[in-house]
Amino acid sequence: MSTLAISVKDLSKKYGDRVAVSHANFEVPLGTVCGFVGPNGSGKTTTMRMLLGLISPTGGTGTILGEPINHPERYLNRVGAMIEGPAFYPALSGAENLRVLATLGGYETGQVQSLLERVGLGDRGDSKYKTYSLGMKQRLGIAAALLPNPQLLMLDEPTNGLDPAGIQEIRELLRSLASQGITVFISSHLLSEIEMISDSLVMLRKGKVIFAGKTQDLLERQQPTIIAKCLNTQDLPKLIQIAQSAGHSGSTIGEEAHILASADWAATLNTLAFQAGITLSQISPVLPSLEETFFEMTGDDE
Ligand code: ATP
């Protein structure tokens, strides 16, 4: 049996002359959470639709749970999906909506209450859908995706538009589903919203996979930086030299010196600058986000 939930090779999709996805290659091991990240329009939804057999690729191949994506009937009964926002009847309650979907899909209707509890809506199942907050709507969407008791859950932007508390709730829910053995493939246009729960990341930009690997590998490349400003900007090159003599590389960005060093070296830098007759008007240690780290690594700061 395959140990991969998703595997794609050179997967491509063109709409007329427009290339939406170009030669995508990545793998998602079973039992992991994989973040699928890219700006709006980078091809995430198109990729997910191909993986679910909703549209055909114009090139390349892929497998889901060991079965080829041109035979979705072989794996769809083991996959739960929420693509482009869940569609529910506003005037029906959450529980009624799930019962309708269960009946239509041929799933067990007796599991509705336990699914509502699983997504944290146990006591709101009888409220009308139209009274739900955005976060509750997303959680009901995830409950619907869980109806087939899936091995793989594919969610397109489930955190989109949520406030920080709502994002946190979805994160916790997905982590708990992953701890029950479900593989989670979740897209977001903001890496910061999902980096914490993702074991691995696939980053998409303009239809191309620009990073596919462990989140940890990106984290290890995060370089703490001290950002310093001189009262007299002409002192910037001298400040960089001082840092370099002490073994820390640095560069000038705008009117700031960016020096690769951890926060505890800031006091030393301040002292060395003072001894050299340089007055610093600002000195702040920062840890770049994974997004910044990635673009520093690739030199792509678009
Ligand atoms: P978003 O988060 O905004 O949905 P995305 O990363 O999911 O973005 P896609 O929706 O996959 O991106 O779109 C990728 C590209 O393909 C875009 O340039 C989009 O305009 C184009 N595209 C998507 N669907 C179609 C379609 N049915 N016909 C023509 N072009 C399309």
Instruction: Express each pLDDT in 222-235 by its tens digit.
Output: 788 999 999 999 99
Residues forming a β-bridge with 82: 155
18 lines ligand 1 (CB under 6 A): yes
| 164-201 pLDDT tens trace | 888 998 999 999 999 999 999 999 988 888 888 999 99
Q: Please report the pLDDT score of residue 117 as a whole number.
A: 94
CATH 3.40.50.300 applies to domain 4-214: yes
CA-closest residue to ligand 1 atom 11: 43
CA gap 40, 18 in Å, rounded: 15
CA gap 221, 290 in Å, rounded: 9
CA gap 133, 127 in Å, rounded: 11
CA gap 168, 174 in Å, rounded: 10
Of all atoms in ligand 1, which is nearest to the CA of residue 39? 6
CA of 189 to the centre of ligand 1 (A): 13
Helices (H), 12-92: 44-51
The answer to whether 150 and 178 are in contact (CB under 8 A) is no
Residue 32 pLDDT greater than 50, yes or no: yes
For a ligand 1 pocket test, name from 44, 205, 210 the mutation site with the most ligand atoms within 8 angstroms of its C-beta.
Answer: 44
The structure tokens listed for 216 are: 């940890």
Q: Please report the pLDDT score of residue 237 as a whole number.
A: 95
Q: β-strand 18-29 against 4-15: which pairing, if any?
A: antiparallel
Q: What's the rounded mean pLDDT across residues 143-164? A: 92
Please state the separation of Cα 155 from the chain's center in Å.
10
237 lines ligand 1 (CB under 6 A): no
Residue 85 pLDDT greater than 80, yes or no: no
CA-closest residue to ligand 1 atom 20: 41
More confident residue, 295 or 171: 171
The structure tokens listed for 167 are: 């994002």
Reported as type and span, the H/E element at residue 155 is: strand 152-156
Residue 302 pLDDT greater than 70, yes or no: no
For a ligand 1 pocket test, name from 22, 45, 47, 185 the mutation site with the most ligand atoms within 8 angstroms of its C-beta.
Answer: 45
For a ligand 1 pocket test, name from 14, 15, 209 the mutation site with the most ligand atoms within 8 angstroms of its C-beta.
Answer: 15
Q: Identity (one letter) of the amino acid at 238?
A: K
The answer to whether 226 and 263 are in contact (CB under 8 A) is yes
CA gap 185, 223 in Å, rounded: 28
For a ligand 1 pocket test, name from 42, 159, 185 the mutation site with the most ligand atoms within 8 angstroms of its C-beta.
Answer: 42
CA gap 302, 192 in Å, rounded: 18
The structure tokens listed for 286 are: 């920062």
The structure tokens listed for 238 are: 């001298």
- Of 18-27, 156-165, 170-179, which one has max mean pLDDT? 18-27
More confident residue, 299 or 103: 103
161 lines ligand 1 (CB under 6 A): no
Domain ranges of the chain: 4-214, 223-286
CA of 188 to the centre of ligand 1 (A): 14
Of all atoms in ligand 1, which is nearest to the CA of residue 157? 2
Helices (H), 91-202: 94-105, 112-118, 134-145, 164-179, 191-194
Query: Which residues neighbour 54 within 8 Å (Cβ) at sequence distance 6 or greater?
Result: 83
CA of 294 to the centre of ligand 1 (A): 24
CA of 21 to the centre of ligand 1 (A): 9
The structure tokens listed for 266 are: 């800031």
Question: Which of 141, 163, 164, 165 lies closest to 154 in space, CA to CA?
Answer: 141
Q: Identity (one letter) of the amino acid at 43?
A: G
CA of 54 to the centre of ligand 1 (A): 14
Q: Which CATH architecture has domain 223-286?
A: 2-Layer Sandwich (3.30)
CA-closest residue to ligand 1 atom 1: 40
Long-range Cβ contact pairs of 108-116 (< 8 A, separation 24 or more): 111/147, 111/149, 115/143, 115/146, 115/147, 116/143
Cα separations in angstroms, 57 against 47, 62, 148, 153: 9, 9, 25, 21
- Rounded to the nearest 10 degrees, how much is the dihedral formed by the CA atoms of 65, 186, 210, 217? -90
89 lines ligand 1 (CB under 6 A): no
